[in-house]
Structure 1
Amino acid sequence: MEPLFNLKVVEMGQLIAGPFAAKTLADFGADVIKIEPPKVGDALRKWRLLKDGTSIWWQVQSRNKRSLSLDLKQAEAQDIVRTLLKEADVLIENFRPGTLEGWGLDPEKLLELNPKLIVLRISGYGQTGPYRDKPGFGVVAEAMGGLRHLTAEPGRVPVRVGISIGDTLASLHGVIGILLALQERHQSGKGQIIDIALYEAVFNCMESLLPEYSAFGEVRQAAGSALPGIAPTNAYLCSDGGYVLIAGNGDSIFKRLMTVIGREDLSSDPELENNDGRVKRVAELDQAIGEWAKLLNTDKVLAALDSVAVPAGRIYTVVDIANDPHYRARENIQSIKMADGSTLDVPGVIPKLSRTPGSIKTLAPQIGENTDEILKSIGLSESQVASLKERGVAFTK
């Protein structure tokens, strides 16, 4: 039995932040009903690369979910949502603040309807504060949270991390919030509202950024592949044009690193025994490591570092990931069979639980694939369901 078996979740999210949180719960047994608009469904269905008209990403983000397609602008659809939420444990939404209220689905009213309901609200800037009504996407949140300023080579334009990291961080904070609220509900029997802002989920991961400024007026700057204030840690060019990331910043690790590159003078230098001393001479250390690395190809550099237990690794592309035996051994990559009989590699379920692991149980649904069964499960007759569909309140593809 999976750890969230019998947990009933209604997802009213779209794109990334809300749906990723719901996907995480579904992977571990939660029954997730995803509510989508008629005909077009969640916009993520058309993002990135499409196979047979639907995004491949969709198979990751919406696996293990059921799709109920409703026109939430209509009062009857809103009534259906209320009926579902009377028996639900969790509601997840990531609309702009005020959207739920505009549909008459104010979380406070929903809690009156179902006092045990836990409501996760993810938005760009949160449900309060002067920016609450501004539209916010993850890319903007990453900038406001302080991350974008640091993701650059010194003196060059700050760049994206390359994925929607702001959305994903908010999702994971949201899942933590749901699990905390569920644990507290065991004591009180009451639900509550969780308010997550995209920017603050990023900010929460910014380590010592703020206290350094508060204590010293220090404004951390972009440092490329280095890790400011921790040395030596950087990416070093090898003779074959590849880069190896080397983290020699532990005191004993540093000594082993200097020995393997033939710099015993640095290994035994008392000024370099601790990190603060090494930071003062980081340029010298980077030069020494870089001169050694560029004489060897990537494989030989990694073999030498592995032999003395210095943390190091190549920079993986998806080709490296797909062919790496460790990924396969850990079931980080799983193959699923698509409706057309083809197979598709997708990320496995994380985290790994020893006794009650999660699993991929069903493919991502088509728009409104489960509309009929869900509506009938709340007491509607076949003729009532047909009427709702005829009038555009509900939809099945």
Structure 2
Amino acid sequence: METSQGTGPLAGLKVIEMGQLIAGPFAAKTLADFGADVVKIEPPGAGDPLRNWRLLKNGTSVWWQVQSRNKRSVALDLRKAEAQEIVRKLAAEADVLIENFRPGALEGWGLDPQKLVEANPRLVVLRISGYGQTGPYRDRPGFGVVGEAMGGLRHLTAEPGRVPVRVGVSIGDTLAALHGVIGILMALHERQRSGKGQVIDVALYEAVFNCMESLLPEYSAFGAVRGPGGSALPGIAPSNAYLCSDGGYALIAGNGDSIYKRLMAAIGREDLGNDPALANNAGRVVRVDEIDAAIGAWTKARTVTEVLEVLARVGVPAGRIYTVADIAADPHYAARGMLQQMRLEDGEMLTVPGIVPKLSRTPGGQHRNAPALGQDTDAVLREVGLSEQQIAALKERGVIQAKA
């Protein structure tokens, strides 16, 4: 849905985004979707590299249209003192500053977050990096895939005995971004009491590790090192992907005690459903191969659709593995507003993901397309008090860039 600028639960919140690519910009996008005024600072010339990542339409990544919607773009050469002074002016009036450079980069530009907070005591600064701002690994370059590996996720995403694989998207960056947004909202809430901002330190690997469920306590208590489980959910039975007659897979989660009995009845295996030894999860885990074989034999004689229809009638959680083509054609996605239409500058329509989460009274929305590089440089600099003559001089010296 489209909304007018200045609406949403975060309307009036001023955010400076100094990150690039995924983690920092995703955090800022989430705030912008809910009404925050996000000023994105990009280097002159090519801007954020994400503008040119993956598939391009009219010279610009369609990913960019999602990641930078609702933002304003200011092009500054942060290597120059005059650009650094502009950032200080912006930070002095901002509520939030987001950055995801390697630790020490801001300090190298004379933009130490602690000093920015001293100058604006209400400022909340989110710092996202591979390994955090402290510790022996702080200076190492860290991308999402490295954080996923160190956080324990990559070891689990494989078929047993095969090479661990990516989950298919930059999940480490996104998890770090979402943890960053949580940190920002908590800091802003606390600011209402204290009147003071603070610095939030999010490490990619820690954001991933925070989602690793019982991984560490199992090791601590039992010395158990959880290994890759392929499509199954290790220690929980039955829960797996089962091959169907049309070559597709049905995901079936029959691991609740009552659900398991209904599943066994539906596939004609009441003997397994009524077996006292399989009445709870502990017993089913011991015989998971036998149970999976029974379910697999049943699904192989039916298409994915047939399997899902039967299981829906008896209340067993199940689903198909969606491709993006499935997503784009799905009526539930459409009904929930998750297939949002936006009009590009050339007049063509582009389908992009809708807004998450859904708020009943103050929902988020899109009020502005992703900006061209430097599209808002002049306007933002005027807002912090620069004159037309000063702006023109900065352009002449290559400190700033505005949209032609």
Residue in structure 1 matching 2:294, options 288, 292, 305: 288
Q: Secondary structure at the match of 1:122?
A: strand
Q: Secondary structure at the match of 2:137?
A: coil
**Aligned twin of 2:209:** 203
**Aligned twin of 1:40:** 46
Q: Secondary structure at the match of 2:173?
A: helix
Q: Secondary structure at the match of 2:97?
A: strand
Task: Please give the residue correspondences for 1:114-193 in structure 2 after superposition, counting only pairs within 5 Å.
Answer: 114-193=120-199
C-alpha separation between the residues in 1 aligned to 2:96 and 2:272?
A: 57
C-alpha separation between the residues in 2 aligned to 1:85 and 1:143?
A: 34
C-alpha separation between the residues in 1 aligned to 2:68 and 2:310?
A: 43
**Aligned twin of 1:250:** 256
Residue in structure 2 matching 1:79, options 60, 79, 85: 85
The residue type equivalent to 1:234 in the other structure is N
TM-aligned CA deviation for residue 245 of structure 1: 0.3
The residue type equivalent to 1:269 in the other structure is D
Determine if the alignment matches structure 1 residue 349 to structure 2 residue 355. yes
TM-score (norm 1): 0.99
Determine if the alignment matches structure 1 residue 19 to structure 2 residue 28. no
**Aligned twin of 1:89:** 95
**Aligned twin of 2:374:** 368
Determine if the alignment matches structure 1 residue 98 to structure 2 residue 96. no
Residue in structure 1 matching 2:223, options 198, 212, 217: 217
Determine if the alignment matches structure 1 residue 267 to structure 2 residue 273. yes
- Structure 1: give runs of 5+ residues left out of the alignment: none
Residue in structure 2 matching 1:278, options 284, 297, 305: 284
Q: Secondary structure at the match of 2:240?
A: strand
TM-aligned CA deviation for residue 377 of structure 1: 1.1
- Structure 2: give runs of 5+ residues left out of the alignment: 1-6
The residue type equivalent to 1:57 in the other structure is W
TM-aligned CA deviation for residue 39 of structure 1: 1.2
The residue type equivalent to 2:328 in the other structure is A
The residue type equivalent to 1:359 in the other structure is G
C-alpha separation between the residues in 2 aligned to 1:35 and 1:128?
A: 25
**Aligned twin of 1:313:** 319
C-alpha separation between the residues in 2 aligned to 1:117 and 1:296?
A: 59
Q: Secondary structure at the match of 1:349?
A: coil
TM-aligned CA deviation for residue 373 of structure 1: 0.5
**Aligned twin of 1:110:** 116
TM-aligned CA deviation for residue 266 of structure 1: 1.0
Determine if the alignment matches structure 1 residue 327 to structure 2 residue 330. no
C-alpha separation between the residues in 2 aligned to 1:341 and 1:53?
A: 15
Q: Secondary structure at the match of 1:185?
A: helix
- Range that drifts further, 45-54 or 17-26: 45-54
The residue type equivalent to 1:374 in the other structure is V
The residue type equivalent to 1:258 in the other structure is M
C-alpha separation between the residues in 1 aligned to 2:75 and 2:211?
A: 36
Determine if the alignment matches structure 1 residue 57 to structure 2 residue 45. no
TM-aligned CA deviation for residue 271 of structure 1: 1.0
TM-aligned CA deviation for residue 223 of structure 1: 1.0
% same residue? 74
Q: Secondary structure at the match of 1:141?
A: helix
Query: Over residues 41-68 of structure 1, what are the superposed CA-to-partner deviations in whole Å (9 max), with x where a residue is unaligned?
Result: 0010111101111110000000000000
**Aligned twin of 1:383:** 389
TM-aligned CA deviation for residue 317 of structure 1: 0.2
C-alpha separation between the residues in 1 aligned to 2:167 and 2:365?
A: 28
**Aligned twin of 2:9:** 3
Q: Secondary structure at the match of 2:78?
A: coil
**Aligned twin of 1:238:** 244
C-alpha separation between the residues in 1 aligned to 2:402 and 2:114?
A: 31
Equivalent residue pairs, number: 397
C-alpha separation between the residues in 2 aligned to 1:353 and 1:97?
A: 35
Runs of 4+ in 1 over 4 A off after TM superposition: none
Query: Over residues 200-251 of structure 1, what are the superposed CA-to-partner deviations in whole Å (9 max), with x where a residue is unaligned?
Result: 0000000000000110010101110000000000000000100000000011
TM-aligned CA deviation for residue 354 of structure 1: 0.2
C-alpha separation between the residues in 1 aligned to 2:115 and 2:382?
A: 25
Residue in structure 2 matching 1:304, options 296, 303, 310: 310
The residue type equivalent to 1:102 in the other structure is G
TM-aligned CA deviation for residue 142 of structure 1: 0.4
TM-aligned CA deviation for residue 272 of structure 1: 1.0
TM-aligned CA deviation for residue 131 of structure 1: 0.1
The residue type equivalent to 2:243 in the other structure is L
RMSD: 0.5
